[in-house]
A and B are shown apart, each in its own frame.
Chain A
């Protein structure tokens, strides 16, 4: 698969929660090795789209194909997911958390946890529990967890929320570096200005649909 071949294809994706349709027929292709920012108002369907790509929401109808597979479990090793909550145990240290999650992925290299912790700019020797971390540190540790399995695709939901500007910029730089390594990155965020110049494409969502894709941080006509 070349870098520019689509790594994710979504066709007429609909996701309903009871009578509420969070996604209303999303159709899109996303090329490999690109950095995408998914933008939109609250309730636009950004998080639902990301969770569906991460295999956490079963589509009500339509298809999602990731790396040529429609079964998420077949390709789950190639996907890293970071949610708005940390997905970490507050009572354990960062290293302990990553050591546990490494075992879920069958990662045997003992230094892998420390490697990704250092990659996100944290100190791997920190022994205090994650519950005592600052929000910015927790977000970075959460990113480290998503990077643990060296995924080809990164799905990041609000990675910069409650993170100070300097730390957020560092995270953007880190993500841009990961893109340069060939990873495909999706970031759902309300802080789009942080990503200007770093992302390849802004994907605009409204009312459960993709309403436009732009190279610049300029909303497409229907949204504006």
Chain B
């Protein structure tokens, strides 16, 4: 590739990054003003923690066994609330059409939405994890730092697919129902990996390494797939 062509490609990538940043900041600003997504997610997760803690009274050992599943299912359901909001703002007043008629690359919009959702869900996780630890008396026996990797890769898996399928369902009448119907089946391998990795780290019974690598691979494959297909989804009629 010649220097000029490389320079042009670099400039295009710079523009795309700039638009991603601008769109992300716009979404964060809108969320800061409305707090639509974060409030619903927090309330939902809080309910799950409280209801489950009253429904069961597990021992510390049992808590370590079930906490992985409980935490991730709670975050998955809560994430759906945020993911359903992702495109709602773009549909109000048909603002999405203003993006479509502009020269901005579709993938910049997609990446901005994914990053925005990642931040929202990460904030939720940061706020809710201490409550899970208190209510379920959790203490990791395995290497606790690996939980950060599981959280990062797991959250990315949820939001990248969630953002993509939320975009797919925006033109359907019952999009709130469509999103879980599309998202949950495709997320099963990621959920399995998240739950197994978390349980492995909390109980210390087995290494979570395989599951973390699986999650990272899942993220790579689905992020690539979503980026390749997003333009088609965005322009679908």
B-contacting residues of A (Cβ < 8 Å)? Answer: 17, 54-58, 73, 76-77, 79, 81, 83, 85-92, 96, 100-101, 103-106, 145, 149
Contacts and interface: CB of A to CB of B under 8 A. Distances in A.
Interface of B: 15, 18-19, 22-23, 26, 29-30, 33-34, 89, 92-95, 97-104, 235, 237
Contacts, number: 70
The 5 lowest CB-CB distance pairs between A and B, nearest first, are A87-B98, A104-B102, A103-B22, A104-B104, A85-B94
A77 B103 contact: yes
A106 B15 contact: yes
Contact of B93 (A73, A86, A100, A103): A86
A56 B101 contact: yes
Contacts of A89: 26, 30, 89, 93, 95
A58 B237 contact: yes
A88 B19 CA distance: 17
**Secondary structure call for the B interface:** helix
Nearest to B22: A103
B93 A81 contact: no
B103 A106 contact: yes
Contacts of A103: 18-19, 22
Contacts of B33: 91
A76 B237 CA distance: 19
B93 A56 contact: no
Contacts of B235: 58
Contact of A105 (B34, B89, B102): B102
Contacts of A73: 103
Contacts of A76: 101-103
A100 B93 CA distance: 16
Given A58-B237, A103-B18, A103-B19, A90 B92 contact: yes
Contact of B101 (A55, A85, A100): A55
B29 A92 contact: yes
Given A58-B235, A76-B102, A101-B102, A91 B93 contact: no
Contacts of B94: 83, 85, 87
Nearest to A106: B15
Contacts of B98: 81, 87-88, 101, 104, 145
Contacts of A54: 97, 101
B95 A88 contact: yes
B19 A104 contact: yes
A96 B97 CA distance: 18
A158 to B, nearest CB: 13
Contacts of A83: 94, 97
Contact of A56 (B19, B34, B92, B100): B100
Contacts of A79: 101
B27 to A, nearest CB: 10
Given A100-B22, A104-B102, A90 B97 contact: no
5 contacts: A54-B97, A87-B93, A87-B94, A89-B26, A105-B103
